Amino acid sequence: MKQMIMALALVFLVLGTAGGTSGAAPASGEPIRIGAISSLTGSFATFGSMERAGYALAVDDINTAGGLNGRPLVIDLQDDTSSANTALTVAEQFINSGVPLILGAYSSSVTKPLAVYMARQRVPLLNSNSADDSITKPGSDYVFRVGQNTDAYVKPFFALFKQLGTIKTIAILVSNNALGHSVENSLLTQAKDGGYPVVFDQAYDEGLTDFRPVLNRIKDTGADVLAMSSYEADAVALMRQIKEVNLNAKIFAGAGATGFAIPSFLKGGGDTVEYVITSAAWSPDVHYPKAHELFARLKAFMGGAEPSYHAIRAYAGATVAADALRRAATLSPEGIRAALQTTSLTTPFGTVEFKDFSGFHNQNPLPSILMQVQHRAYVTVWPLDVAVGKVIYPTPVWTARK
């Protein structure tokens, strides 16, 4: 079963590689193979399928445009079954087979141990989608992150709170995992800096699906903001039960993006997710070159399904890898690591540069945006220079909604 899915994934990638040979000077010669680890099955499979699409389209584009100095790029994508142990086994196999660079993984809880392992093996790991601060803080010389960390996810919320002016208290409810705790820490630090008392702070066990007891407690605190971080199914279950217990906050915040910022959140949550504000790494509204075009192409590539920012970030990750491979003096782990460090690239996802700042190491300092669910669609509302709609505030109480 798993092998079958992996085989399908491989076929998919190889087809992706061979597909776009209509360009001017397609790559030929001996291919350069790098590894990629993602969650193609298991609880993070939805996100893994986004990464797979992003990688596949990127490989397609890179090879159509001449590949890596004439040689085609092959991304060998393997499944970690949403488990850290499997990811480590796959990484070991990759390294034993001489792969000089690995992309991935998806989830913070998988990437954290993977990053430690890769640093020990002295092979560079290029991560696109894991947000846990501790992956690049303190980080290592061999771990590079293209995507935003949780500090960056949380930051625009506090800028918004400041502008709104009438926010006083914050309640925090996060899933009990690497991402959740990193979001929780970012929220606590930034709430303290901004002078917002945190009146409730709890983690819940993943797979717990009766949130009513804890939501009733939050209701009693009367917090202005309920900031949450969850993966896919929990985010919808939370919003449904928030409506059910009639918990009213001025802002329902998806502070860790992820489950609150994917198309299935809109579909599964129906009218309960209206007005939710979520941070997000990217939307087609950002002012980066070819952003809208890439979104449309990814959508077509995915057979009409809406891509989330995870697909875009995976695309950016593959583009950054290709850029480093082109510039690397040697195609060894050390050569590629040195090339990655001097990356300065503008992608449709945004500018990618690996910087050291406030305790982070090899972290791309890209800001996040905020999107609000309005009429069952994501509308970019922050920062103001990329916003296409206004924040609806405060969130109407449940009894006043149709």
Which residues of the shown chain bind another protein in the complex (CB under 8 A)? 1, 41-43, 45-46, 176, 202-205, 207-214, 216-217, 220, 232-233, 236-237, 240-241, 243-246, 264, 267-268, 270, 272
Minimal distance, residue 238 CB to another protein, in Å: 11
Place of tokens 């190491």: 361
For the bound state, the minimum distance from the C-beta of residue 62 to another protein, rounded and expressed in Å, comes to: 28
Question: How far apart are CB 264 and another protein at their closest, in Å?
Answer: 7
Q: Which is nearer to another protein, 37 or 160 (CB)?
A: 37
Any idea what DSSP says for residue 381? E
**Using CA atoms, how far apart are residues 306 and 174, in angstroms rounded to an integer?**
26
Residue 65: CB minimum distance to another protein, A: 33
Between 206 and 334, CB nearer to another protein? 206
- Indicate the helix (H) or strand (E) that contains 74: strand 73-79
> Residue 212 or residue 290: which is nearer to another protein going by CB?
212
Instruction: List Cα–Cα distances, 282 to 135, 306, 348, 355, in angstroms.
Output: 20, 14, 10, 20
Cis peptide before 31 (omega within 30 of 0): no
Whether the CB-CB separation of 129 and 51 falls below 8 Å is answered with: yes
Give the span between the Cα atoms of 88 and 353, in whole angstroms: 27
Residue 201: what are its φ and ψ, rounded to 5°?
-150, 110
**Least distance in angstroms from the C-beta of 148 to another protein:** 24
CB nearer to another protein: give 41 or 108. Answer: 41
Task: Provide the minimum distance between the beta carbon of 42 and another protein in the complex, in angstroms, as a whole number.
Answer: 7
> Least distance in Å: CB of 177 to another protein?
10
Closer by beta carbon to another protein, 347 or else 395: 395
Residue with smaller CB distance to another protein, 42 or 113: 42
Q: How many angstroms separate the CA atoms of 87 and 114, rounded?
A: 7
CA–CA gap between residue 192 and residue 196 (Å, rounded): 6
78: region left, alpha or beta (phi > 0 left; psi from -120 to 50 alpha) = beta
Question: Which tokens sit at 171?
Answer: 């309640």
Between the two ends of the chain, the Cα-to-Cα distance in Å is: 45
Least separation in angstroms between residue 1's CB and another protein is: 5
For another protein, the closer CB: 78 or 380:
78
Q: How far apart are CA 107 and CA 86, in angstroms?
A: 13
Residue with tokens 């996100």: 47
Q: Which is nearer to another protein, 214 or 331 (CB)?
A: 214
Nearer CB in complex with another protein: 47/354: 47
- How far apart are CB 211 and another protein at their closest, in Å? 8
Distance, in Å, from the CA atom of 288 to the CA atom of 282, rounded to the nearest integer, reads 10
Query: Cα(75)–Cα(59) distance, rounded to whole angstroms?
Result: 7
